[in-house]
Amino acid sequence: MPYELQELAAISGMPGLYRLVRAARHGVLVESLDEKATRTLAPARNKVSLLSEISIYTQDPEQTVPLTDIFERIYQQHGTTAPVTAKSSEGELTEFMAGIVPDYDRDRVYLSDIKKVANWFGIVSKHRPYQEAAAPEAPAADETAPAEVAPAPKAKRKSAKADAEPAANEPLSTGGVIGAPDDAPEAPGNPEATVPAKKSRKKAE
């Protein structure tokens, strides 16, 4: 999630955005998302809309685009500053939204909605750090580890001595490291060739 929106909300009758602090007896204690970070009580009669639960309609009646994804797309295309404001023309606003969500529903998404998206993005990007999602790289490395360690049982079958060396190196090994002990048993394999030689001498006697 590029911008953490879980605790951020828009409150009817109150300009700007707010961070939810805790529930109060007659409403919700909130903190303004600005330089002052002023705490105030939002009355229970005011509608609180969590940004994480807001979506944009698309031409597919069964599909919407979460505001979190909208903010990610704006950031990727325009950085931390949206190219439009509440004072932008209708053409600029619709062109901006079409660039972010090409298939947005032109009938159900109003100009006032686009203005809110641009305004909210400006507030959030100014007071919340952007977090890049780099988590998928770690699982990719973990998935390759089992495949590389898999050849280890073959070394165990060859000899008991070979088991001791790979076992100590398994956590740090790759296919090449495990392969090194596999080559070692082949050298001691030459003395095994002398065993049949002794048997052949007995037969000769």
What is the mean pLDDT, run by run of 10 residues, along the chain of 205 residues? Answer: 85 95 93 96 94 96 94 94 94 97 96 96 92 59 49 45 38 30 43 43 45
Q: Which two tokens stand for residue 145?
A: 């580890």
**Rounded (5°) CA angle 35-19-127:** 40
The DSSP bridge pattern shows strands 64-66 and 55-57 to be antiparallel
pLDDT digit string, tens, across residues 76-94: 999 999 999 999 999 999 9
pLDDT digit string, tens, across residues 19-55: 999 999 899 999 999 999 999 999 999 999 999 999 9
| Cα–Cα distance, 86 to 95 (Å, whole number) | 14
| Residues forming beta bridges with residue 42, ordered by sequence position | 28
Q: Which two tokens stand for residue 190?
A: 């030459």
Domains of the chain listed by start with CATH number: 8-50 (2.30.30), 54-127 (1.10.10.1650), 143-185 (no CATH)
What pTM did the predictor assign? 0.63
What pLDDT is attached to residue 164?
39
Per the CB < 8 A criterion, the answer to whether 166 and 143 are in contact is: no
**Rounded (5°) CA angle 102-18-68:** 25
What pLDDT is attached to residue 136?
53
Q: What are phi and psi of 128, to 5 degrees?
A: -135, 135
